[in-house]
A and B are shown apart, each in its own frame.
Chain A
Amino acid sequence: MGEGCKISPVAMFSILTYWNYRELIWNLTVADLKIRYKNSALGFLWSFMSPLLMSLVLIFVFMQVFKFSISNYPLYILSGIIPWRFFGYTNNTMHSIKLYSSLIRKIYFPRQVLVFSACLSALISTSIEFVLLLFISIVLGGSITPWILLVPVFLAAQFFLVLGVSYVIAALFVFYRDLQHIWEVFLQAAFYAAPIIYPATLIPQSSPYYVVLLVNPMSHFIIAYRHLFVYGDAPALGSIIGIAAFTAFAYMAGLLVFKRFEPRFAEEV
């Protein structure tokens, strides 16, 4: 104490913190999942119905109205939307500090565990949705090969990306209430700036939009997941390295920002 502002390498990495507080993290995660699904008996079911129904709308619009002719378009779109949803959970994880404001004002514990458990509960929901995607892929004629075993690796990488981003927005949301509206718009833009409903090849490489597509980390995740869930082959090595590097950066940077704001949470929430 007293030197709480100094950031030791261990504190920065935070891995030890997660381990020491694993029971708290797990209890918070379970609490989060319970509250999310408890209020309606159909809550659990709805969480899967909503991506399916949303995909149906998009499939209709783009096949019937815009006459997209991508082979197996329904599977194409679902294999984009379900991985996207993991990133979309940042809309919830943003609230993780604010939500526990009464706790933060009364007792000390490393505040990272709140964000970590919110992301963990998003990971669990996503994992279940991925199992669903696997079945959908089999039914809709996707090619499932042993490459599918790589999915957990990408899921873990995406978890750290979501965690890094959540650290930043959860910390900022304590101070700035309009962030949730800004973030909603940002997410909407990022959704269309990733090859979810259209293929990346549709954008000419000379176009500035192609650059946007390239710098959007979710583009690379979605393309990689499609290789595993739909085409049954290996994602490009270059994009795997890119994903790993960017994820590590996002996590470290996010944690650094978070630790900088953390001492002021109790005074602000």
Chain B
Amino acid sequence: MGPIEMRRVSKLFRIPHEKRTTLFSVVGGLLLGKHQTFEDFWALRDISLAVGEGEVLGVVGRNGSGKSTLLRIIGNIYQPTSGTVSVRGRIIPFIELGVGFQDELSGRENVYLYGSILGLPKRVIDANYKAIVEFAELKDFMDLPLKDYSSGMNLRLAFATATIAEPDVILIDEVLAVGDAEFQKKCLDKMEDFRRRSRAIVFVSHDAAQVKRLCSRAVLLSHGREHACGEPSEVLAGYARLASKEEKGTRATR
């Protein structure tokens, strides 16, 4: 069995029409006998996929097609509504910008905090600290509080810290788009390096060139369903067709 295996996974979000965010409104609703009504939104429908060792799966699709939900389910951040997911080994997710560092603490303190979130023992971080700072190109900034960092610096620090973790599964959600071209190249090199060492990577991106370069297989999501799966170039072509078709569709309805 490969590092990532998903079987018939669906994810339902029940979005309340009127969100009750206070105990007051909940008690009030109960007293007045008002039932809460929901809008059902299936973010993922019946997705089955497997990612093997040394495989890079590209995930493409328009905004709201379920790409991020897919990554979050693989990363054990969301629980699937139905279906099963199994992931073997250490997962390193890059979802959204930065990784939720502590703004008040220095870059150095955040490396240790984030490292321990990834499950790295202190001695491993100690041993790799210099390499992290070098990779992130933040030598002169490590004692500054993180709130003074730019989003690019924040990402670089997160990425550099995570790469020493020797992950088995890596999840990437478009975050590489923030760094400058040179850092992006460094990250892509690192990804190829991981692929050569038989890690499993799931890569969400809008950048067709990156998907083509990095991925061995791609899957196209549309409204939470798998629309196509296979050769990256074919899937990307399918994505282009789907995008132009949907655009025509929205124009026609206007």
Q: Which residues of A contact B (CB under 8 A)?
A: 1-2, 4-5, 21, 23-24, 26-28, 31, 34-35, 38, 100, 102-109, 172, 175-179, 182, 263, 266-267
Contact = CB atoms under 8 A, between A and B. Distances in A.
Nearest to B87: A1
B93 interface: yes
Main secondary structure on chain A at its contact with chain B?
helix
A220 B93 CA distance: 47
A263 B76 CA distance: 9
A28 B116 CA distance: 9
Interface of B: 13, 21-24, 26, 72, 75-80, 83-87, 91, 93, 95-96, 98-100, 102, 104-105, 109, 112-113, 116-119, 121-122
A107 B93 contact: yes
Contacts of A105: 72, 77, 95-96, 100
Contacts of A263: 79
Closest 4 CB pairs of A and B: A103-B100, A102-B100, A108-B76, A178-B22
Given A1-B86, A108-B76, 9 more contacts: A21-B119, A23-B116, A34-B104, A105-B95, A105-B96, A105-B100, A107-B93, A176-B22, A266-B78
Contacts of B109: 31, 34
B113 A31 contact: yes
Contacts, number: 91
B145 to A, nearest CB: 9
Contact of A107 (B99, B105, B121): B99
11 contacts: A21-B116, A21-B119, A28-B113, A31-B102, A31-B105, A38-B104, A105-B96, A106-B77, A106-B93, A176-B23, A182-B23
Contacts of B91: 108
A31 B115 CA distance: 14
Contacts of A106: 77, 93, 95-96, 99-100
B13 A267 contact: yes
Of listed B85, B100, B122, residue having the most chain A CB within 10 A: B100
Given A177-B22, A266-B72, A35 B104 contact: yes
Nearest to B91: A108
Contacts of B79: 2, 4-5, 263
Contacts of A35: 102, 104-105
A34 B122 contact: no
Contacts of B87: 1
Contacts of B24: 178
A23 B104 contact: no
A263 B80 CA distance: 10
B89 to A, nearest CB: 12
